[in-house]
Amino acid sequence: MANKLKEFIAEVKPKVDAFIAEILKGEPKKLYDAAYHLPSVGGKRLRPALVIMVARTLGATFEEALAPAASVELLHNFTLVHDDIMDKDEKRRGVPTVHVLYGEPMAILAGDVLYAKAYEALLKAPQRPDIVVEMTRMLTWAAVTVAEGQALDMMFEDRWDVSEEEYIEMVKKKTGALFGASAALGALSASKPELKDLLKEFGILLGIAFQIKDDILSLVGDEKVTGKKKYNDLKEGKKTLLVIKALERLSEEEKKKLMSILGNQNATDEELAETANLIIKSGALDYALKKADEIGKRALEILNSLPTKNPEYLELLKELVDFAVKREY
Amino acid sequence: MANKLKEFIAEVKPKVDAFIAEILKGEPKKLYDAAYHLPSVGGKRLRPALVIMVARTLGATFEEALAPAASVELLHNFTLVHDDIMDKDEKRRGVPTVHVLYGEPMAILAGDVLYAKAYEALLKAPQRPDIVVEMTRMLTWAAVTVAEGQALDMMFEDRWDVSEEEYIEMVKKKTGALFGASAALGALSASKPELKDLLKEFGILLGIAFQIKDDILSLVGDEKVTGKKKYNDLKEGKKTLLVIKALERLSEEEKKKLMSILGNQNATDEELAETANLIIKSGALDYALKKADEIGKRALEILNSLPTKNPEYLELLKELVDFAVKREY
C-alpha cells in the first residue's frame, strides 16, 4: 500500500473503530461480545476509508463522513459473519469465526445486530433529513444487492457452466454493491446527491477489481500475509474468474482433473496445489490480473472527472484503486 | 376475534400482502422464493393491522400507513425465519420452515433479504423526510431490541433461576419491541411524532400480553387451531412465565420431574403432556392468564387517553387488546 494511503488509513481507523466499539455496547453482553468479535480483531477498513476519502474529495469534513463510514464497516462485518456460517469457514482475519466461538444461533443473531447497528450508525449522520433518507436508501440497496450476490455465489457452486458475464454480475453484487454504496455515501456526506450515482459506479468498479484480486490471492497469495486459508475457494467449489477461464482453456483431461478437486472438501493440500498450478498454467491467472487492471482503469477515469475540492484526497482514491488491483493482502 | 376486527383485518390483509409480494420480487429467483415462503403461507398480520389502526385513530389515511405496515410485517417474518433456524423448528404456520425447504445457508440469506426489504418498504412512506428518518430510527430500535430479546430467550434455556422480572424484560424485547414500534409507526404515519413514545408504550404492553398468551397456547392450545407444534417450548427448555411460576410452586419431587423433561428433545408426547399437567396443577396457568389480563388493562388505559380522531378505529384497537389476551390461535 502506498505510504500516503497507509498513513490516511492509520489516521482514520482508530476513529472509525472507536465509533464502532461505542455502538456495539449493550445487553446481553454475550450477544454484543459476539457482534464485536469480528470488527475487533482487525480488517483493513477500506470501505470506511472510501466513504471518507470521497467525502473529503468533494469538500466535506471528516466529522460529516464518520457515521456513514462506520455504518458501511458494520454492514460489511454483518455480511462476513453470516457468510462464514453459510460457508462453514472456521477462520477469518487469522482467528476463529464467530460461529466457532459462540455457536451458530448466537452468530446468526450477532450478524443481525451488526446489520441493525449499521442503520443506527447511519442515522447519527449530521446531514439534513432528506440527505439522511437518501443515505438510508443507499445502504438498503447495498444490503439487498449483497444478499443477491451471496446467493448467486452459492448457487454457482453447483454449476459448471457459469460464464464470465455471470461471474462479473455476481461479483458486482457481492462485493461491488457495498463499495458502490460506500463511495455514494461519501458523496451524500458532502451533501452532493447529484454525484451519488457516478460515485456508486466508481465504487462498483473498484469493488469488482478488488474481488478479482481477492480470488487471485486465494490461489497464489501467502497465507501469512493474507490471513486467509489458501485454496478455500477451490475447496468450496467457488466459480471464480480463474476457474471459469481455466475450464475454458484446459484440455479435456486437465479439465476433468480440475473438476474432480473443485468443491471437494476432502482434497489434500498437494491436490489443491496441483490444481492451482493447472489454473495458472492455463493462462487464467494472467487473464484475471489483466481484467482487474482494466476495471481499475475505468474506475480511475471516473475519478478524473470529479469536481474535486481537495486534490490530495483524490490522489488517495487513486492509490486505493492501485491497492485494490496490486495488493498482496 | 371480534367480528369488526376480523372484518378490518380481512380488508387490509390483501393490500399489505400485495405490497409485500411486489417488494419481494427479484433475482436470483431462488433467494426471493425463499424470502417469500413464510409471508406467503399465512400469518395473522396483527402488526401491520396495528400500524394502520393507530394511524387511522390519529387521523391518517390508510395509504399513509401502508408502507410502514408492510415494513413491520417484513421485519417480523425476518425474525421468524432466523428464529426457526436457531431453534431448529421444522414447522411454522402449518408448513415446513424456510431452512427445511431451502437449506440453512439460503434461509439465513432469505432472512437477511426480508430484513433489508423492511427498510425498503419503510422508505416508500409518503411522509416528510424528517418523519421518515424518525420511522427508520424506530424500526432500527425494534430490530436491535428483538435480537437482544432472542439472545436472552436462548440464554435462559440454560438457566434454572430465571425470575419473573427477567422473563418480562426478555418478552418486552423479543415481542414487545416490534408491537411497540408498530404502534409508534402508526403515530408517525399520522405525522404525530409527539405521540410516538406513548404509542410505543402501548404496543409494548400489547406485545407482552400477546407473548404470555402465546406461551400459554403452546401448553394448552389446540395444534389444529394454532398451527404450531404443541409443547415445543417445553422441548426447547424455554423459560416461560408458566415454567418460572411452576418451578416456584411445585414440590421438590415435582420440580425434579419438570426439570428432567424441560429442554429434553427426546421427551415423549406422554411425558410432555404429563409435564404440562404438572404446570397447570401448580397454578402457574391461572397466574399467567391473570398477568396477561392485567397487562392488557394497562394497554387499554393508554388507549383511553389518546386524542382520537376516528373512534371506530380506537374500538378496533381495544378489540385487538382483547384478542391478544383471549385468543385461541
CB pair distance less than 8 Å for A152 and B28: yes
Task: Tell me, yes or no, if B137 comes closer than 8 A to chain A by beta carbon.
Answer: yes
Is B138's pLDDT higher than 90? yes
Any idea where the domains of chain B sit in the sequence? 12-304
Is B225's pLDDT higher than 90? no
Q: Left (φ > 0), alpha (ψ -120 to 50) or beta: where does A237 sit?
A: left
Task: Tell me, yes or no, if B282 comes closer than 8 A to chain A by beta carbon.
Answer: no
The alpha-carbon radius of gyration of chain B (Å, integer) is 20
Where are the alpha helices (H) located in chain B, listed in sequence order?
3-23, 29-40, 46-57, 62-87, 98-102, 104-122, 129-156, 164-171, 177-189, 196-220, 223-226, 232-236, 241-249, 252-261, 269-281, 284-304, 311-326
pLDDT in tens, B35-47: 999 999 989 999 9
Is B94's pLDDT higher than 90? no
One-letter amino acid at B144 equals V
d(C-alpha B71, C-alpha B47), whole Å:
10
Average pLDDT over residues B11-37: 98
Average pLDDT over residues B191-216: 98
Q: Residue B323's pLDDT is what? A: 96
Q: Left (φ > 0), alpha (ψ -120 to 50) or beta: where does A243 sit?
A: alpha
Is B226's pLDDT higher than 90? no
CB pair distance less than 8 Å for B151 and A82: no
Task: Tell me, yes or no, if A33 comes closer than 8 A to chain B by beta carbon.
Answer: no
Confidence of residue B180 (pLDDT cuts 50, 70, 90): very high
Confidence of residue B121 (pLDDT cuts 50, 70, 90): very high
Q: Residue B245's pLDDT is what? A: 97
Residue pair A182/A210 in contact by the 8 Å Cβ criterion: no
Q: Residue B1's pLDDT is what? A: 83
pLDDT in tens, A127-157: 999 999 999 999 999 999 999 999 999 999 9
Residue pair A207/A286 in contact by the 8 Å Cβ criterion: no
Which of A117, A120, A123 lies nearest to residue B133, judging by beta carbons? A123
Is B2's pLDDT higher than 80? yes
Cell 450477544 locates to A31
d(C-alpha A313, C-alpha A4), whole Å:
10
d(C-alpha B22, C-alpha A229), whole Å:
41
CB pair distance less than 8 Å for A28 and B152: yes
Confidence of residue B102 (pLDDT cuts 50, 70, 90): very high
Which of A111, A128, A144 lies nearest to residue B116, judging by beta carbons? A144
The DSSP result for B247-265, as a single string, is HHHS-HHHHHHHHHHTT-T
Task: Tell me, yes or no, if A148 comes closer than 8 A to chain B by beta carbon.
Answer: yes
Confidence of residue B326 (pLDDT cuts 50, 70, 90): very high
Q: Residue A10's pLDDT is what? A: 96
pLDDT in tens, B267-282: 999 999 999 999 999 9
The DSSP result for A119-147, as a single string, is HHHHTT--S-HHHHHHHHHHHHHHHHHHH
Q: Left (φ > 0), alpha (ψ -120 to 50) or beta: where does A88 sit?
A: left
Task: Tell me, yes or no, if A25 comes closer than 8 A to chain B by beta carbon.
Answer: no
Task: Tell me, yes or no, if B166 comes closer than 8 A to chain A by beta carbon.
Answer: no
Task: Tell me, yes or no, if A18 comes closer than 8 A to chain B by beta carbon.
Answer: no
Is B227's pLDDT higher than 80? no
Q: Map residue A91 onto helix, strand or coil.
A: strand
Cell 404446570 locates to B279
Average pLDDT over residues B290-300: 98
Confidence of residue A218 (pLDDT cuts 50, 70, 90): very high
d(C-alpha A189, C-alpha A172), whole Å:
23
Task: Tell me, yes or no, if B158 comes closer than 8 A to chain A by beta carbon.
Answer: no
pLDDT in tens, B148-163: 999 999 999 999 999 9
| CATH number for the domain running over B12-304 | 1.10.600.10
Angle between helices B241-249 and B284-304 (to 10 degrees): 130
pLDDT in tens, A117-129: 999 999 999 999 9
Q: Residue A101's pLDDT is what? A: 98
Average pLDDT over residues A230-246: 94
Q: How many residues are there in chain A? A: 329
68-107 of B, contacting A, C-beta below 8 A: 82, 85-87, 104-106
Cell 477489481 locates to A209
Confidence of residue B309 (pLDDT cuts 50, 70, 90): very high
Is B29's pLDDT higher than 80? yes
Is B21's pLDDT higher than 80? yes
* Minimum CA–CA partner of A150 in chain B: B109
Q: Residue A197's pLDDT is what? A: 98
One-letter amino acid at B107 equals A
d(C-alpha A260, C-alpha B225), whole Å:
51
pLDDT in tens, A56-113: 999 999 999 999 999 999 999 999 999 999 999 998 888 999 999 999 999 999 999 9
Task: Tell me, yes or no, if B311 comes closer than 8 A to chain A by beta carbon.
Answer: no
Confidence of residue B229 (pLDDT cuts 50, 70, 90): confident
Is A292's pLDDT higher than 80? yes
Q: Residue B230's pLDDT is what? A: 87
d(C-alpha B49, C-alpha B321), whole Å:
12
Residue pair A48/A76 in contact by the 8 Å Cβ criterion: no
| CATH number for the domain running over A3-319 | 1.10.600.10
CB pair distance less than 8 Å for A147 and B82: no
Q: Residue B224's pLDDT is what? A: 86
Residue pair B148/A31 in contact by the 8 Å Cβ criterion: yes
Average pLDDT over residues A24-37: 98
Average pLDDT over residues B101-125: 98
Task: Tell me, yes or no, if B133 comes closer than 8 A to chain A by beta carbon.
Answer: yes
Which of A116, A144, A155 lies nearest to residue B147, judging by beta carbons? A116
Is B5's pLDDT higher than 80? yes
CB pair distance less than 8 Å for A112 and B109: no
Is B228's pLDDT higher than 80? no
Query: Among residues of chain B, what percentage have pLDDT more than 90?
Result: 93
* Minimum CA–CA partner of A81 in chain B: B108
Q: How many CB atoms lie within 10 A of CB B14?
A: 11
Average pLDDT over residues B102-120: 98
Contacts of B109 in chain A (CB under 8 A): 82, 86, 147, 150-151, 154
